[in-house]
Structure 1
Amino acid sequence: MEMSDRDTHNAESNFSLFEDCLASRVFVLPSVSDPEGDSEDLDEFSLYIAQEAWLALPSKIRELTFTISPIPEADEVVLDIQPSSTDSTDTLATYGLISSGDSDESHTFLRYVLISYISLATKPPPAWSSTRTNECEICSREVPLTYHHLIPRSTHERVIKRGWHPPEMLNNVAWLC
């Protein structure tokens, strides 16, 4: 199955989000909270772990959006991941983040990462009124603004039919002069 540009962008965005969730979990662990440690090494390490764990996740988790319903639970996802399907357990143990070879501890570690990731990936965009700016989003002038749909509502049906935009893009808006 060929991925569209939108799917590729969503997958890259979700991986970046997953990596950030994993990195924040790694950075709070006592074994890596050395203030004199090299942050670049920690960044590379968290990227490596994220890449290993990401490939082991089911595609339905890698493709989450705020329009997904029902939202999956982290406990359900962890059960889908078998210890043999990822080398993350060995890597986490090598760096002292979990007990040596303890797949249950690896699942617990990943569960906390998934809880953060799922909540962020499925979080809806902010309400339109909270996005109001002081300047036009196109010309940056500070003049009275109005709220505009970037894809006019009257064209939504045609836009979907012709595949110009995915349904989740239809209600994108901007504050314009």
Structure 2
Amino acid sequence: MLRTIDSPQFSLFKDCIARRLLSYPDLQNPPQESQELDDFTSYLTQEVWPTLPAAFLTASYETRCDLPEDLDSMLLHSVSGAFVDTLISYGIAEDAEGAETFLRKTLADYRQQACAPPPVWSSTRGKDCEICEREIPLTYHHLIPRSTHAKALKKKWHPESMLNVVAWLCRPCHTMVHSVATNEDLAQNYYSVALLLEREDVQRWGRYASKQRYGVRRG
């Protein structure tokens, strides 16, 4: 199995390590800047990530049953020596057993977050349109259009839990999104606001729309 370091799971695990590091008040020579913390946590994560059981590398709500429930009894014999030595040298752990305890607690945090159920999408609503950033009445745009749900599941484009993810857009931006791509193209290639905003035409529209006053009659 490819033990990739550019997956969402890797990034989430790295964040869990960072939060646990910051919870140690007696950390020796702690990273002083955000970049130092990022470099330090990246190093630790890259050391330990390839040694984790395969189920952790693809952990998600759909695969939650594949992860062990009892982390205390999970074997961690292949943990990187560099990972252990680093935790000891920074005063995070006193010995190898302490380093394993740190790792098990981090894995517990990671499992809880990686396997959390998807949000109720209506609760994600903000005040501003996610494209033009104007505070005006919003509509919800199915990032994976409903007409493509059956095909998305059959072709395994997305897990079922993500089918109803939405973006909150004003009506003009909502209409624009559906004018630049077909529903199938949206489902396959533009299933997040970040992906939509990578399109130059969407960026141009967003800049234009952001300068328009809502409710002004024209003509």
Pairing of 1:20-39 with structure 2 (within 5 A): 20-32=15-27, 38-39=32-33
Separation in 2, partners of 1:78, 1:16: 25
TM-score, normalised relative to structure 1: 0.74
1:118 to 100, 105, 111: 111
* Cα contact 2:143–2:166 (8 A) shared by 1: yes
Separation in 1, partners of 2:36, 2:143: 42
- Structure 1 position 61, deviation (Å): 0.5
> Secondary structure of 1:32's match?
coil
Matching residue's letter, 1:103? A
Q: Are residue 138 (structure 1) and residue 126 (structure 2) matched?
A: no
- Structure 1 position 121, deviation (Å): 1.4
Query: Where do 5+ consecutive residues of structure 2 fail to align?
Result: 172-219
- Structure 1 position 33, deviation (Å): 6.4
Separation in 1, partners of 2:99, 2:164: 40
TM-score, normalised relative to structure 2: 0.62
Query: Where do 5+ consecutive residues of structure 1 fail to align?
Result: none
Pairing of 1:1-177 with structure 2 (within 5 A): 12-32=7-27, 38-39=32-33, 40-70=35-65, 72-73=67-68, 75-76=70-71, 79-82=74-77, 84-87=78-81, 88-99=83-94, 102-162=95-155, 165-168=157-160, 169-176=162-169, 177=171
CA displacement, residues 107-139 of structure 1 (integer Å, 9 cap, x when unaligned): 111111111111111223321221122333334
Summarize the Cα distance change of 1:50–1:145 in structure 2 as closer, same or farther, 3 Å threshold. same
CA displacement, residues 138-170 of structure 1 (integer Å, 9 cap, x when unaligned): 34444432333222323212233345x223442
What's 2:216 paired with?
A: none
**Which structure would you say has the larger RCO, counting Cα contacts within 8 Å and 6 or more residues apart?**
1
Matching residue's letter, 1:119? Q
Separation in 2, partners of 1:135, 1:28: 34
Summarize the Cα distance change of 1:52–1:98 in structure 2 as closer, same or farther, 3 Å threshold. same
Separation in 2, partners of 1:156, 1:38: 47
Separation in 2, partners of 1:75, 1:158: 37
* Cα contact 2:9–2:57 (8 A) shared by 1: yes
After superposition, the CA RMSD in angstroms is: 3.0
CA displacement, residues 38-69 of structure 1 (integer Å, 9 cap, x when unaligned): 33444433221121111111121021122323
